[in-house]
């Protein structure tokens, strides 16, 4: 199981705005290009996105389905990887102080061959992918949303 976290200097609502925008999926998910939403409204449970997967010279297709969605805190996805099976990808957005968010990603194989092929080496690859993905998410959120500040009361 691969768990990683990232501090994002924006509110949970601002992070959620990016997670909930299917047109921005390819901006923060590593290896994804040309994402297209399905029939249901992303990120409602059952909604899906199809996309092109690009890993170096290899190109394939993928599909991700929303399995749990609790605005603005939890988004759980099931990513289909063809013959390898599927993976559960859970994103939790926690308030951190008054203005920031801590985003935690937890991914592990769920169905198919990926579960039996899962090793410590695979976890290292997933950790590296998550590092890049969370940094990209932070960059997209922080560039697209103004920093919010809470009003501080004057000292008496």
**Residue 57 has what pLDDT?**
85
Q: What is the pLDDT of residues 34-73, one digit of tens each?
A: 888 998 899 999 999 999 888 778 888 889 999 999 999 9
pTM: 0.86
**Residue 90 has what pLDDT?**
96
Domain assignments of the chain as residue spans, ordered by start: 2-144
Q: Which of 121, 119, 124, 130 is nearest to 79 (CA)?
A: 130
Q: Answer whether 79's CB lies under 8 Å from 106's CB.
A: no
- What is the average pLDDT value for the chain, to the nearest integer? 87
Give CATH superfamily name and number for 2-144: START domain (3.30.530.20)
**Residue 20 has what pLDDT?**
96
Burial 61-84 (b: 16+ CB within 10 A, else e): ebbbbbeebeebeebbbbbbbeee
Q: Quote the CA–CA distance of 73 and 66 in Å, as a whole number.
A: 14
Q: Quote the CA–CA distance of 36 and 124 in Å, as a whole number.
A: 29
Q: What is the pLDDT of residues 15-41, one digit of tens each?
A: 999 999 999 999 999 888 888 899 889
**Residue 1 has what pLDDT?**
59
């Amino acid at each position: 199981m691969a768990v990683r976290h990232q501090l994002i200097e924006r509110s949970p609502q601002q992070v959620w705005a990016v997670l909930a925008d299917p047109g921005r999926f390819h901006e923060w998910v590593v290896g994804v290009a040309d994402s297209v939403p399905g029939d249901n409204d992303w990120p409602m449970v059952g909604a899906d996105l199809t996309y092109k997967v690009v890993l170096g010279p290899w190109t394939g297709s993928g599909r991700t389905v929303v399995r749990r969605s609790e605005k603005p805190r939890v988004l759980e996805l099931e990513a289909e990887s063809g013959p390898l099976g599927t993976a559960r990808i859970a994103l939790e957005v926690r308030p951190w102080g008054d203005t920031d968010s801590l985003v935690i990603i937890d991914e592990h194989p769920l169905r198919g061959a990926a579960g039996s092929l899962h090793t410590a080496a695979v976890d290292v690859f997933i950790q590296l992918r998550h590092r890049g993905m969370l940094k990209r998410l932070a960059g997209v959120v922080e560039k697209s949303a103004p920093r919010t500040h809470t009003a501080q009361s004057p000292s008496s």
